């Protein structure tokens, strides 16, 4: 079981904690960090001193560091011979409260999870301020900016008149579109229902009158006379 998230304390032992009594305090039966099958329990039942632990093989607890009366560090280790041991876990006692010291893997895992959680929270908050519109693109919309915009007096924007170039360009584009895509319906008067272009009656064009050949010649002669002008006057010889 993972014991990194729990702690244990017995307030009756806190006033008398010292280097000699801290292992007895750690070996209390209600302490979840203590292993009942350890060599310390065997030595305690046989009423031997802790020096006999060096001659035994198995799990044992030793006082690794002491700073009375606040800090005590106890190590759980596996003894394989009188000179060879393998550390299993460390426990520290601060003001009578016992905690299990985390291993390096747990520390790295906790730091990585904390960093990832912070990055994920920042990313989600940043995405909540992101806005997109097809005509504008992406932009940021913050809450404080919205509050400032509400408090600011709204000034009416004056509409600028279009320039001559803009009007001519728009008219040219509309004329080009009208030629490419002629209208299928026409509204002759405002308020009337649009009528298809095919149903509109076209007025017959006036037929040119037939001109007689004699009239054509007289018209040509008249035009020629006008073009030539009056004949020149000659002086009479007496």
Assess if residue 160 is contained within a domain.
no
Same domain, 88 and 107: no
Beta bridge partner(s), residue 71: 67, 94
- pLDDT digit string (tens) for 5-15? 899 999 999 99
Same domain, 16 and 96: yes
> Span 127-141, mean pLDDT?
85
Residues with Cβ within 8 Å of 82's Cβ and at least 6 positions away in sequence, in order, are: 54, 55
Q: Say what the pLDDT of residue 148 is.
A: 67
Same domain, 49 and 66: yes
- pLDDT digit string (tens) for 30-58? 999 999 899 999 998 888 888 888 889 99
Assess if residue 183 is contained within a domain.
no
Q: Is the pTM value of this prediction over 0.75?
A: no
Q: Say what the pLDDT of residue 116 is.
A: 95
Is 238's pLDDT higher than 50? no
Long-range contacts of residues 138-145, Cβ cutoff 8 Å, at least 24 apart:
none
Picking from 45, 80, 101, the residue at the C-terminal end of a domain is: 101
Assess if residue 164 is contained within a domain.
no
Same domain, 125 and 65: no
Assess if residue 36 is contained within a domain.
yes
Give the residue ranges of DSSP H helices in the chain: 22-26, 39-45, 104-128, 143-151, 164-180, 213-228
Q: Say what the pLDDT of residue 224 is.
A: 54
Contact criterion met (CB below 8 Å) for 222 and 214: no
Same domain, 60 and 110: no
Q: Say what the pLDDT of residue 93 is.
A: 94
Range of the domain at 56: 3-101
**What is the pLDDT confidence band of residue 178, given thresholds at 50, 70 and 90?**
confident
Q: What is the mean pLDDT of the chain?
A: 81
pLDDT: is 236 or 110 the higher one?
110
Assess if residue 61 is contained within a domain.
yes
Tell me what percent of the residues of the chain surpass a pLDDT of 70: 76
- d(CA 104, CA 109) in angstroms, rounded, equals 9
Assess if residue 176 is contained within a domain.
no
- pLDDT digit string (tens) for 194-235? 777 777 765 555 555 555 555 555 555 555 554 455 555 555
Assess if residue 198 is contained within a domain.
no
Q: Say what the pLDDT of residue 73 is.
A: 95
Same domain, 90 and 117: no
Same domain, 51 and 120: no
Same domain, 11 and 92: yes
Q: Say what the pLDDT of residue 34 is.
A: 93
Same domain, 111 and 74: no
CATH number at residue 93: 3.10.450.580
> Span 82-99, mean pLDDT?
93
> Span 187-191, mean pLDDT?
74
Same domain, 118 and 96: no
- d(CA 208, CA 8) in angstroms, rounded, equals 120
Picking from 83, 101, 119, the residue at the C-terminal end of a domain is: 101
Picking from 113, 134, 155, the residue at the C-terminal end of a domain is: 134
Q: Say what the pLDDT of residue 180 is.
A: 85
Domains in the chain, number:
2
Same domain, 94 and 12: yes
Assess if residue 210 is contained within a domain.
no
Same domain, 49 and 79: yes
């Amino acid at each position: 079981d993972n014991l990194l998230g729990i702690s244990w304390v017995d307030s009756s032992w806190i006033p008398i904690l010292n280097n000699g009594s801290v292992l007895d305090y750690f070996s209390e039966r209600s302490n979840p960090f203590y292993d009942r099958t350890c060599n310390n329990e065997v030595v305690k039942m046989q009423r031997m001193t802790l020096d006999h632990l060096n001659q035994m093989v198995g799990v044992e607890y030793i006082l690794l560091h002491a700073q009375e009366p606040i800090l005590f560090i106890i190590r759980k280790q596996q003894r394989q011979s009188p000179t060879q041991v393998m550390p299993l876990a460390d426990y520290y006692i601060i003001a009578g409260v016992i905690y299990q010291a985390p291993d390096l893997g747990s520390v790295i895992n906790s730091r990585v999870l904390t960093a990832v959680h912070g990055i994920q929270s920042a990313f989600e908050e940043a995405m909540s301020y992101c806005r997109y519109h097809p005509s504008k693109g992406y932009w940021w919309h913050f809450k404080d900016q919205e509050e400032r915009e509400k408090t600011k007096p709204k000034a009416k924007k004056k509409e600028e008149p279009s320039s001559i170039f803009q009007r001519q360009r728009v008219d040219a584009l509309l004329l080009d579109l009208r030629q490419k895509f002629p209208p299928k319906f026409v509204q002759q008067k405002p308020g009337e229902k649009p009528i298809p272009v095919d149903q509109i009656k076209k007025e017959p064009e006036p037929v040119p009158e037939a001109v007689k050949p004699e009239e054509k010649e007289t018209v040509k002669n008249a035009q020629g006379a006008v073009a030539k002008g009056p004949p020149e006057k000659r002086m009479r010889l007496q």
